[in-house]
Amino acid sequence: MKFGVIIFPGSNCDHDAYWAFKEVFEQPATMLWHDSHDLQNCDAVIVPGGFAYGDYLRTGAIARFSPIMESVRHFAAAGGLVLGICNGFQILCESGLLPGVLMRNRGLKYISKPVQIRCENPDTPFTNQCKKGEVLTVPIGHMEGNYFCDDATLNQLRQQNRIIFRYCSPTGEVTREANPNGALDNIAGICNEGFNVLGMMPHPERASEPALGMTDGIKILQSLVNAGVLKG
């Protein structure tokens, strides 16, 4: 199982993701340059967090035009596994790989803290190590994490069980108080129709080993490793 982590100008979580897969999970991993079309025969692509191209215009708006994202779109259309984290989620939405947009946080402040998210669908390549309704503690760090889409899209996400994570209380209640950024329907992560592309605002790679103080992210990343091994 080979993982490719994209590097954009302004990425700052690329090495975190690389370390998690290469060192924690002992999987082959490589860096993918934004200005290249070459995915280097990777089995899964990680679109990491950060501030791609300085978040100029709006988050992900420039990154969507990079050569590597053209290859990622073809890769995803063929069923390849793609995980977008934080800025990566924003880029996936701008690229049309996921519906909706990520807007400024409610309160217009940058938020960096651990939050709780509830697994709504354990039957995906990204959640096969989770139980339905399981609460995970994973950190966030963003200014534009307020997910929004139109009513028709929201209904489709609900009906197709594509809302994968929702912000919740430590005991699993989905409430306004547990929503750190104002995201519609407390959405923290969604999948595409093929369930091979996931975008999420929380950072599982920052909760992937005891030294980081949190380990719940292991379940998400291990799920992806397992899915890739089974698919291969």
Q: Which of the 8 DSSP states describes residue 40?
A: T
Strands 135-142 and 187-191, by their bridges, are unpaired
Q: Quick one: CA torsion of 162, 159, 136, 145, rounded to 10 degrees?
A: 60
Residue of 94, 120, 144, 205 with catalytic role = 205
C-alpha to C-alpha distance for 203 and 140, rounded to whole angstroms:
6
- Residue 210's H or E segment, with its range, is none
DSSP, residue by residue, 112-149: EEEEEEEES--SSTTTTTS-TT-EEEEEEEES--EEE-
Residue 23 contacts by C-beta under 8 Å, 6 or more apart in sequence? none
Residue of 42, 86, 119, 130 with catalytic role = 86
Residue 98 contacts by C-beta under 8 Å, 6 or more apart in sequence? 84, 89, 92, 190, 191, 192, 197, 199
To the query of whether residue 203 is one of the catalytic residues in this protein, the response is yes
To the query of whether residue 15 is one of the catalytic residues in this protein, the response is no
C-alpha to C-alpha distance for 9 and 232, rounded to whole angstroms:
32
Structure tokens at 218: 């292991």
Residue of 120, 130, 191, 203 with catalytic role = 203
Nearest partner of 92 among 218, 8, 161, 183, judged by Cα? 8
Catalytic positions are: 86, 203, 205
